[in-house]
Structure 1
Amino acid sequence: MKRRIWASPYRFIFIPIIAAAFLSLVSFIVMQLWNNLLPAILHVSVITFWQAMGIFILCKILFGFGRPGRFGGGAPWMRGRMAERFKNMSPEEQAHFKEQFGHRMCRDRKPFGRREWFDESKPEEKSAE
């Protein structure tokens, strides 16, 4: 039987090294993109590798670490749990759940995500008589 490197005690050494290498690579890419694009476009100064790493970490803190959004994804175990619950519901309960879900997720939206930002019908004009 083959021995996997991730199952061995060496994983405590390799995982931090891989994480540091990934962070360094992403920081280098951020630095290169910033230094090659933004000074010419927005007239900002060039940044160092450490400043690029700080910008990347700050963006991750502010904008999230790749978690799925409100409507998409979710944990696979949670999806399986919901599918199991839905399967155990009666047809009436399923219809009620779908209706409630539709009202919660698509309250004021038209098909394909289009919204009415203003009422297109003209209000009745009051005439001063």
Structure 2
Amino acid sequence: MKDTTRFKARFLGRALLMLVAVAALGAVVMGLWNAIVPGLLSGAQVIDYPHALGLLVLCRILFGGFRGHGGWHGHRFGHRWHSMTPEEREQFRRGLRSKMESRMGHGPFGRDGAAE
């Protein structure tokens, strides 16, 4: 019984903390927007709290999470990179470099081989 009670208390505590954090972030977004953007852009208007929360959600959808890491470039490849040996990393770099050169149609020194 104690474990389920402790679990529920932790869950509710985390949920409450998350709500407070989102509310605070919404207030910060609203304050920053209203302090900066209308003075910068002639057509921009002051926003209210619900619009600030909407902007926060939109940024979350477009750019990624609030967990200290970026959006679309996740951890999946970082784990593989750290598990590679230095030789494997160099081989990967060479493959990536040759791919980029083939897409651009020339090497790092231009089409004629001379440094640009």
- On whether the aligned pair clears a TM of 0.5, the verdict is yes
Query: Which one of 94, 100, 113 corresponds to residue 91 of structure 2?
Result: 100
State the shift of 1:41 in Å.
Answer: 1.1
User: Is 1:12 equivalent to 2:11 in the alignment?
Assistant: yes
What does residue 48 of structure 2 align with? 48
Structure 1 alignment gaps of length 5 or more: 1-6, 87-93, 110-115, 122-129
Does 99-108 or 36-45 show the bigger shift? 99-108
State the shift of 1:54 in Å.
Answer: 0.3
What does residue 31 of structure 1 align with? 30
What does residue 21 of structure 2 align with? 22
Task: Tell me how many residue pairs correspond in the alignment.
Answer: 96
State the shift of 1:12 in Å.
Answer: 1.4
- In the alignment, the residues of structure 1 paired with residue 56 and residue 28 of structure 2 have an alpha-carbon distance, to the nearest angstrom, of 10
State the shift of 1:60 in Å.
Answer: 0.8
State the shift of 1:99 in Å.
Answer: 3.6
- Whether the aligned pair in 2 keeps the contact of 1:31 and 1:49 (CA below 8 Å) is yes
Q: Quick one: structure 1 residues 120 and 100, their matched pair in 2 at CA, closer, same or farther if it must change by over 3 Å?
A: closer
Q: Deviations over 1:4-45 (max 9, x none)?
A: xxx643011111111111111111111001111111110211
Q: Quick one: structure 1 residues 53 and 120, their matched pair in 2 at CA, closer, same or farther if it must change by over 3 Å?
A: same
- In the alignment, the residues of structure 2 paired with residue 40 and residue 60 of structure 1 have an alpha-carbon distance, to the nearest angstrom, of 25
Compute the TM-score of the two structures, normalised by the length of structure 2.
0.62
- In the alignment, the residues of structure 2 paired with residue 39 and residue 23 of structure 1 have an alpha-carbon distance, to the nearest angstrom, of 23
What does residue 64 of structure 1 align with? 64
State the shift of 1:74 in Å.
Answer: 2.4
Compute the TM-score of the two structures, normalised by the length of structure 1.
0.57
State the shift of 1:78 in Å.
Answer: 3.4
Q: Which amino acid aligns with 1:102?
A: R
Q: Which amino acid aligns with 1:64?
A: G
Q: Quick one: structure 1 residues 68 and 57, their matched pair in 2 at CA, closer, same or farther if it must change by over 3 Å?
A: closer
- In the alignment, the residues of structure 2 paired with residue 8 and residue 78 of structure 1 have an alpha-carbon distance, to the nearest angstrom, of 31
From the CA coordinates, give the structure whose radius of gyration is larger.
1
